[in-house]
Structure 1
Amino acid sequence: MFRRTFWFSTGVAAGVWATTKVNRKLRQLTPESLAATAANKALETGARLKDRAVGFALDVRDNMAQREAELGDALGLHADPELPAPRRYAAIENNRSKPKYVDDTTHSYNRNEDH
């Protein structure tokens, strides 16, 4: 009797375990779950690529500064620390005075009037 109970319980446990595993796998294969998994992997890949791009940009900047220093030494071009930085000029001057307009009564702006 004890043997039969043991094997019956073992069979029930194996059936519950197998059913649980199959249901879990079926839930992973639903379209919503597949879409969520794909989106998560895309976000992880994007973050990884962004980190690599930032690291690459920093390496390029460091190497560029080093190469500029080497070229400056080779050509004898050294920045003089006593000279002020070059002055930057605005592309468009800020003129705060009011613009002078032509009197509208003497001039017509109708493009079709001359034709």
Structure 2
Amino acid sequence: MFRRTFWFTAGAAAGVWATTKVNRKLRQLTPESLAAQAANKAIDAGHKLKDFALDVRAGMVQRETELGEALGLETPPGGPELPAQRRLAAVEPPRRPFDQHDKRSYTSHNRNEDH
């Protein structure tokens, strides 16, 4: 009699455990839950990317300082300033004088045209 009671209780406990586990997994696979998980992972990735960028920037500043010391360069406290942007003068290409024998200067270069 105790054997049957033991196995019945063990089976009922296993059934409750399995049902709970399956329901928990099904709740994790709902669209709302999947969207929340994806959003959390995206936020975590963004934080990791920001930390990486800050580490790279700090490393760049450190390396620039090391190179400046090694080369004997002194940089002002505000950092080096870039020169002002130069503007290029608009220059027109020279025009060829009109030559009546040279029709290439005023004809189109479309090879698909009938001549």
Mapped to 1, the partners of 2:4 and 2:69 lie a distance apart of: 86
Could you list the runs of 4 or more consecutive aligned residues of structure 1 that deviate by over 3 angstroms after TM superposition? Answer: none
Query: Structure 2: which 5+ residue stretches go unaligned?
Result: 76-115
**TM superposition shift of 1:34:** 0.4
**TM superposition shift of 1:78:** 6.0
Distance 1:78 1:65, change over 3 A: closer
State the TM-score, normalizing by the size of structure 1: 0.61
**Match runs of 1:54-93 below 5 Å:** 54-72=54-72
How high is the sequence identity, in percent, across the aligned residues?
61
Distance 1:40 1:78, change over 3 A: closer
State the TM-score, normalizing by the size of structure 2: 0.61
| Larger proportion of helix | 1
Indicate conservation of the 8 Å contact 2:68/2:74, yes or no. no
**TM superposition shift of 1:69:** 2.0
Mapped to 1, the partners of 2:14 and 2:58 lie a distance apart of: 56
Query: Structure 1: which 5+ residue stretches go unaligned?
Result: 80-115
Deviations 1:60-89 (A, max 9, x none): 0111111122222xxxx668xxxxxxxxxx
Point out the more displaced range, 21-30 or 63-72.
63-72
What is the SS of the residue equivalent to 1:61? helix
Higher normalized contact order (CA 8 Å, seq sep 6+, divided by chain length): 2
